[in-house]
């Protein structure tokens, strides 16, 4: 049974590291997508808030009686605008939390990426050493064959 070379055995380790790095990279992408989605939600909420504020100002200029609005309706607008403000703040807090998680995930990915890079370098060094040793062995075998041939010719 022929023993596998070190570089071949390490190839299996490298496959595991590559899978781990890919999983960390996917997780990184998921956090980035969540942040983008949350930022879009904030933009939508801010847009709705401005829209309702503009409507409220418009009703204020027309006068409550002219617009057919009651004080109750105006209060409802204020409450709704206020709730939108709270929702915006909550969404912004969610974005901050996601960005913190993204930073942690980025560090995890960088660490495993560096591990993958280091392993690739080590495997390359092993292969070069294995090639060097194989060349050395082949040269020794050729030298031995030449010596044997010379020996047999001188005796024969």
Alpha carbons 67 and 74: distance in angstroms, whole number: 11
DSSP, collapsed to helix, strand or coil, labels residue 131 as: helix
Instruction: Report the alpha-carbon distance of residue 54 to residue 56 in Å, rounded.
Output: 5
DSSP state, residue 1: -
Between CA 25 and CA 22 the distance in angstroms is 5
Domain membership of residue 1 (yes or no) is no
Query: Is 133 among the domain residues?
Result: yes
The pLDDT of residue 109: 97
Asked whether the beta carbons of 120 and 10 are under 8 A apart, the reply is no
Domain assignment present for residue 90? The answer is: yes
| Residue 74 resides in a domain | yes
pLDDT at 80: 93
Residue 44 within a domain = yes
Domain count, the chain: 1
What domain range is 119 assigned to? 6-155
Predicted confidence at residue 55, as pLDDT, reads: 85
User: What pLDDT is stored for residue 75 in this prediction?
Assistant: 86
> 28 lies in a domain?
yes
Give the pLDDT score at 152. Answer: 73
CATH of the domain at 124: 1.10.287
Give me the tens of pLDDT residue by residue for the chain, a chain 156 residues long.
668 888 889 999 999 999 999 999 999 999 999 999 999 999 999 999 999 898 888 776 665 454 456 788 888 888 999 999 999 999 999 999 999 999 999 999 999 999 999 999 999 999 999 999 999 999 998 888 888 777 777 665
**Alpha helix (H) residue ranges in the chain:** 6-62, 64-67, 71-155
Whether residue 11 lies inside any domain: the answer is: yes
């Amino acid at each position: 049974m022929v023993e596998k070379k070190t570089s071949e055995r390490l190839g299996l380790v490298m496959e595991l590291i590559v899978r781990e790095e890919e999983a960390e990279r996917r997780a990184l992408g998921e956090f980035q997508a969540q942040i983008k989605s949350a930022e879009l939600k904030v933009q939508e909420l801010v847009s709705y808030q401005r829209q309702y504020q503009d409507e409220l100002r418009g009703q204020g200029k027309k006068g409550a009686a002219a617009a057919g609005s009651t004080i109750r309706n105006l209060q409802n607008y204020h409450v709704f605008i206020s709730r939108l403000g709270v929702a915006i703040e909550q969404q912004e807090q969610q974005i901050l939390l996601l960005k913190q998680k993204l930073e942690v995930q980025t560090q995890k990915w960088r660490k495993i990426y560096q591990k993958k890079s280091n392993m690739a370098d080590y495997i390359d060094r092993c292969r070069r050493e294995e090639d060097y040793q194989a060349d050395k062995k082949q040269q020794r075998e050729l030298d031995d064959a030449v010596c044997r041939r010379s020996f047999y010719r001188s005796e024969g």
